[in-house]
Chain A
Amino acid sequence: MTVPSTQEVTQLLLAWSHGDQAALEQLTPLVYAELHRLAKRYLGGERRGHTLQTTALVNEAYLRLIDWKNVEWQNRAHFFGVSAQLMRRILVDFARSRHYAKRGGEAEQVSLAEASMVAQGRSTALVALDDALQALAALDPRQSQVVELRFFGGLSLEETAEVLKVSPATVRRDWSLAQAWLHRELNKTATGDR
């Protein structure tokens, strides 16, 4: 497979942000491969023991993939919004494939706290989180977006506010309630409340 040009990647990303689902299918493996390479370097490299700089990782991935000079993005916030969404899609799909592969398709809910223990749990937690986020989107789409941007996009409160064009205080409130709600929902399922 030849490495696609940065122009191609950029076009795909723009197409997807305008609702072209086929663009996502082409985009995913490219971003995945790049993320994988970077993540591996971050985890294994000189920064061992340091907290992974998520934003840096995402930025670096896109810097490498996207032709910044020749594309008019609406603004920086637009880019982060799109990339957080893309990241969620990629990571959750990845986690889902792992999750089902390991469990033979039989879903098992695990709390976030447990999830942090082992990688296997992490993929399970990620799948559960994605499910809960979809339910949250049905109740409050903006709260779901806040989580997406902050958790999957690694954005700060202020950056999130910029993307969503609301005040940071609103983001803080959304973030607080969304976290409480997600935490409760995930623990509900984990403790067998079916």
Chain B
Amino acid sequence: MSGQEEVASRLIPFMNPEHYRHIGELYHAALELEPGERAAFLNQACAGDAALRSEVESLIASHEQAADSMAAPVLEMAAELLARGNHQPVIGQMLGHYQILSLLGAGGMGEVYLAEDRQLGRKVALKLLPAQFTADAERVRRFRQEARAASSLNHPNIITIYEIGQVERSYYIATEYIEGETLRQRMASAPQQRMKLSDAVEIAAQIAAALSTAHEAGITHRDIKPENVMVRRDGLVKVLDFGLAKLTEPRAPVVDTQASTVAGASTESGVVMGTAQYMSPEQARGQKVDARTDIFSLGIVLYEMLAGRAPFVGVNALDVIGAILNQELVPLRQHLPDVPAELQRIVSKALCKDREQRYQHTKDLMIDLTNLRRELEFEEKLKGVQGFVVPPGGSSVLTREIPTVAGTANAQPAEAATNEVVAARTSSSVEIIIGEIKRHKLGVGVALVILVAAVAGFAFGLYKLSRQNQSPNRALGPAPRVVPFTSFSGNECCPSFSPDGNQIAFAWNGEKEDNTDIYVKLIDAGAPLRLTTHPDADLSPAWSPDGRYIAFIRSSKDEKGIYLVPALGGQERALCTLTPASAGRAYFLSWSPDGKLLAFSEKNSPQEADSIFLLSVESLEKRRLTSHPEHSLTLQTARRLTIPTTHYVGDFDPSFSPDGKMLAFIRSNADVDEIYLVPTTGGEPKRLTNDNRKIDEGLAWTPDGREIVFASNRAGSYTFWRIPIAGGTPERLVAGGDNVYAPAIARQGNRLAYTQYNSDMNIWRFEARRSSGRTNSPAKWISSTQAEFSPQYSADGKRIVFISGRSGNIEVWVCDSDGSHPIQITSFGGPNVGTPRWSPDGRQIAFDSNADTYQDIYVISAGGGKPRRLTVETSHNARPSWSRDGKWIYFGSNRSGTWQVWKAPSEGGQAVQVTKQGGREAFESPDGKFVYYTKGPEATSLWRTPVAGGEEIQVLDQVQQGLWAVLEQGIYFINLKAAPYPTIELFSFATARTARIAVIEKRIPLGPPGLAVSPDGRWILLVQDDQSESDIMLIENFR
């Protein structure tokens, strides 16, 4: 029966047109009376017909309630329906600069389309948000805020958000397009919906990694479920929709499950939302949620992947919520009898109803999952070995119950593996002896080289296991965990272990952050002992193999040398002087294991690049070990010979292998570093890595001499990787976060110490009120968890171009002057990109990039698109800026052998040299008559020369490259030498005097351009370090 028939059949038996007309007459008559008179009238008019009277009364009541409710014609809402209706023929249409190609899927949060970004020529996934979520301006504002925060997350397991935008009243999110399937689809295709153990753990570990990064940035997902996880064909997991769940929270009290839709129970503190099956108890109660909610939801997903069903189910959403709140968790092993005890423990801990009992940090869950995955992999490998059979009902390490440790209420994950370990060592293969089982804690002997899981009550045997990428010595034992070794204010860096592994020497710039000296400290306790006090910077400590001395490098601007100081304190001794190097790079020392040699890098002469040298500690003889094949060629020579050189920077960070036969070092080529190995006796260095990435600050050998741990930006920011010295693909270290450097491994092999940098530079806005010369408090204007720098206002003051690392790579972005609508303009995806500068008409942006070996100038449309390369020299061309008529682009170039300012026609063509006595960063004066320029990174003077040609004159002292701007009224610049804090100052052309505009209390990062002034002179953008600090951290249970 259709709806209309139902209505008609209900009405007609009681009423006909005649009846209705009569009712209508009474209704109108009654309405004409005063309300107080109506009852008497109806009493009389209905003459005892109660049904008639009640009918009229209900219509009068209804009339009052309705109160012209239909006054607004239906078209208003109908039009909205039509405009936002979800079956518009959108395919093929343009939405902003996106052409919609096909529908990828639809869900509660709107439809997702495959679209092509016509500006950047790439495929994107475009999510259109439904009208009901975006009708509320406040909600939209919060959503944008959240989505912007989420878009700054940078992690391989988190989908990259390219843009959050709006076309008319449609909001959309453009993200990276992923070819793959949702975890839901993946689960559905598994036999009995149960995924392979190792696959499930692998996927859960990747989700945990994504969540861990988000949680550290203060972002909770709130809606982790299989539909929000994509699995790429290569197995990489991407978590979608960070922060989007928040959009549905305030006024959409609807809980969706696949089968049912119910209104959620509203509570005092909030409204229930989300997908019922994956809700945490606190979410189901409508309480405030935090990161631990995501941990619970991930627990459900993991459970479901393994068991083939979610742990808490019901016939409708309310039922499900009831189960989540009250029902005991059915242990995983009831579905899966062979489930490893460790996995059972992980799932149960994630699914504790009381969030205080749950994992408190996602990182802990991630580490447990990752370790388990490794163990599973290793076990699989063992199973693959001929003759090795895990007995039925398995008592292998993975399937055995956790032995309870007396006196320990909460068994640590570590205790899961309390097996006898038999280790053996050969150079090329591993011989594994599965021996008699004795249970005791994991021994950490010097011979802890290769650990093997042996099996309880099991057989003896000898098997060979070829060693490939997987290092068996990581198969077992307690989970690695990161603990702080120092947490002082200021910078602590470059740790070096004492030979017994109980102490660490490090450099620290002190409580006052004024003088870097060498300190030592016990690992478990104690205050640091200061070993040096010299006013010059003492860095790079290296503990001698006999434990008695610490070698270090002392350097000032003019002097540099290697020194020794007794580890217990005392008289220091100079070993040798070194050629002073330009700042900007840490240097490392390494002792040979016999204590006779020190390896270091140094420039043989100030003109040359750094090479590796060996110093005999006894004879103080120096021996050069490496020289670059092209080291003797100057840039000019290379150009003349048309040798396609890469820009060789030098060899750095030597590190002796544990047997003392080899040295690993970093060979640096412009913006690419590779690890090389060279015999300590000399010879041709052999390249170990080959992947065009940066490697920075120090190399560490594992004590077995098989691998090297290093910090690389291959996954975005600097993280730790390990590579077998036999070659292969680097593997990321599980523990240790982002921005880590200078790894050092204890000789015992159980600990890795490193420098953790905590830095976040953002763009701040200062107000420069010219009348009073004072400013309001600065506001953080353009920020993310990644670096933002190099801002510049467009000539109309309405837009800002800047550099941001928020997409995971350094790219050019443009936003409105209030910081809103950030749009990524370039997509180089790796190479450095810098100094974006507007053309005067605001249509184009010039910038530099080292995408092709040398730094070159590129021009791109301000709306994005394909960049046009302006310079093609075999030399560096950097820091572009436009002439005021837009016809020329100035830049610094070393094509003549020295850095000079050049200019090239902005449409392309022959460049013309502008300066003769040096120049690097130039801006034309607003009247187009002069070129102002700095002379280099270290030079602090500002010069000018007439555009038409003529003599140069110095305008100002104390102007740092990247920290100045020319306006009509004068030159804005940062005076770094001002005391007690640097200041923003204005040199007025009219008065030729300098006035202070603002005092800068935060740290200004040196290097990236940091100052921009709005055309009206009212606003100043300045890059500031919101955090710049480093600590030394330890990875315990390093394997």
Give A contacts to B, CB under 8 Å: 32, 35-36, 38-40, 42-45, 48, 51-52, 54, 57-58, 87, 91, 94-95, 97-98, 101, 107, 112-113, 115-116, 118-120, 122-123, 126-132, 134-135, 138-140, 147, 150-154, 173, 176-177, 179-185, 187, 189
Given contacts A44-B169, A54-B75, A138-B8, contact A179 B83 (CB under 8 A): no
Given contacts A140-B17, A182-B70, contact A58 B75 (CB under 8 A): yes
B798 on interface, CB distance cutoff 8 Å:
no
19 pairs, CB–CB < 8 Å, chain A vs chain B: A36-B88, A39-B79, A52-B76, A54-B76, A94-B82, A101-B87, A115-B77, A116-B77, A119-B80, A119-B131, A122-B77, A132-B7, A138-B8, A139-B11, A151-B70, A151-B74, A153-B73, A177-B28, A180-B66
* Interchain CB contact under 8 A, A183 and B66: yes
Is chain B's binding surface mostly helix, strand, loop or mixed? helix
* Interchain CB contact under 8 A, A36 and B65: no
Contacts of B3 in A (CB 8 A): 107, 127-128, 131
Given contacts A126-B78, A139-B15, A152-B73, contact A180 B60 (CB under 8 A): yes
Closest Cβ neighbor of B88 among chain A residues: A36
* Interchain CB contact under 8 A, B168 and A43: yes
**Given pairs A36-B88, A181-B59, 6 additional interface contacts (CB within 8 A):** A122-B78, A135-B4, A152-B74, A176-B63, A180-B66, A183-B65
* Interchain CB contact under 8 A, B68 and A152: no
* Interchain CB contact under 8 A, B69 and A179: yes
Q: How far is the CA of A140 from the CA of B951 in the complex (A)?
A: 97
* Interchain CB contact under 8 A, A98 and B17: no
Given contacts A127-B3, A179-B70, A185-B7, contact A119 B84 (CB under 8 A): yes
B85 on interface, CB distance cutoff 8 Å:
yes
* Interchain CB contact under 8 A, B59 and A180: yes
B334 on interface, CB distance cutoff 8 Å:
no
* Interchain CB contact under 8 A, B168 and A122: no
Contacts of B170 in A (CB 8 A): 44
Report B25 CB to chain A, min CB distance, Å. Answer: 10
Report A38 CB to chain B, min CB distance, Å. Answer: 8
Given contacts A43-B80, A127-B3, A154-B75, contact A140 B59 (CB under 8 A): no
Q: How far is the CA of A24 from the CA of B828 in the complex (A)?
A: 55
Given contacts A87-B75, A119-B84, A138-B8, contact A179 B17 (CB under 8 A): no
The A/B interface has a contact count, at CB < 8 Å, of 165
Is chain A's binding surface mostly helix, strand, loop or mixed? helix
* Interchain CB contact under 8 A, B31 and A150: no
A44, A113, A134, A150: which contacts B4 (Cβ < 8 A)? A134
Closest Cβ neighbor of A189 among chain B residues: B7
Closest Cβ neighbor of B166 among chain A residues: A44
Binary contact track B120-135/A, C-beta < 8 Å → 1, others 0: 0000000000111000
Report B35 CB to chain A, min CB distance, Å. Answer: 15
- Of B3, B68, B80, most buried by chain A (CB within 10 Å of CB) is B3
* Interchain CB contact under 8 A, B75 and A134: no
* Interchain CB contact under 8 A, B4 and A131: yes
Closest Cβ neighbor of B79 among chain A residues: A39
Contacts of B68 in A (CB 8 A): 179
Report B89 CB to chain A, min CB distance, Å. Answer: 9
Q: How far is the CA of A38 from the CA of B70 in the complex (A)?
A: 22
* Interchain CB contact under 8 A, B69 and A183: yes
Contacts of A58 in B (CB 8 A): 75
* Interchain CB contact under 8 A, B20 and A183: no
Binary contact track B29-71/A, C-beta < 8 Å → 1, others 0: 0010000000000000000000000000011111101101110
**B interface residues, tally (CB under 8 Å):** 50
B571 on interface, CB distance cutoff 8 Å:
no
Q: How far is the CA of A135 from the CA of B7 in the complex (A)?
A: 7
Q: How far is the CA of A135 from the CA of B86 in the complex (A)?
A: 30
Q: How far is the CA of A173 from the CA of B24 in the complex (A)?
A: 9
Report A103 CB to chain B, min CB distance, Å. Answer: 9
Contacts of B72 in A (CB 8 A): 51
Report B392 CB to chain A, min CB distance, Å. Answer: 48
Given contacts A140-B21, A176-B31, A176-B63, contact A40 B73 (CB under 8 A): no
* Interchain CB contact under 8 A, A45 and B168: yes
* Interchain CB contact under 8 A, A139 and B7: no
B27 on interface, CB distance cutoff 8 Å:
yes
Report A123 CB to chain B, min CB distance, Å. Answer: 6
Contacts of A112 in B (CB 8 A): 69-70
Closest 6 CB pairs of A and B: A44-B168, A39-B79, A183-B66, A180-B63, A184-B62, A54-B75
* Interchain CB contact under 8 A, A134 and B168: no
Contacts of B58 in A (CB 8 A): 184
B527 on interface, CB distance cutoff 8 Å:
no
B12 on interface, CB distance cutoff 8 Å:
yes
Report B573 CB to chain A, min CB distance, Å. Answer: 77
Contacts of A180 in B (CB 8 A): 27, 59-60, 62-63, 66
* Interchain CB contact under 8 A, B132 and A119: yes
Report B168 CB to chain A, min CB distance, Å. Answer: 2
Contacts of A154 in B (CB 8 A): 73, 75
* Interchain CB contact under 8 A, B8 and A135: yes
Report A185 CB to chain B, min CB distance, Å. Answer: 7
Given contacts A40-B168, A54-B75, A138-B17, contact A98 B63 (CB under 8 A): no
B776 on interface, CB distance cutoff 8 Å:
no
Contacts of A184 in B (CB 8 A): 58-59, 61-62
Closest Cβ neighbor of A141 among chain B residues: B17
Q: How far is the CA of A181 from the CA of B56 in the complex (A)?
A: 10
* Interchain CB contact under 8 A, B63 and A123: no
Report B519 CB to chain A, min CB distance, Å. Answer: 63
Q: How far is the CA of A131 from the CA of B9 in the complex (A)?
A: 12
Binary contact track B919-932/A, C-beta < 8 Å → 1, others 0: 00000000000000
Contacts of A45 in B (CB 8 A): 168
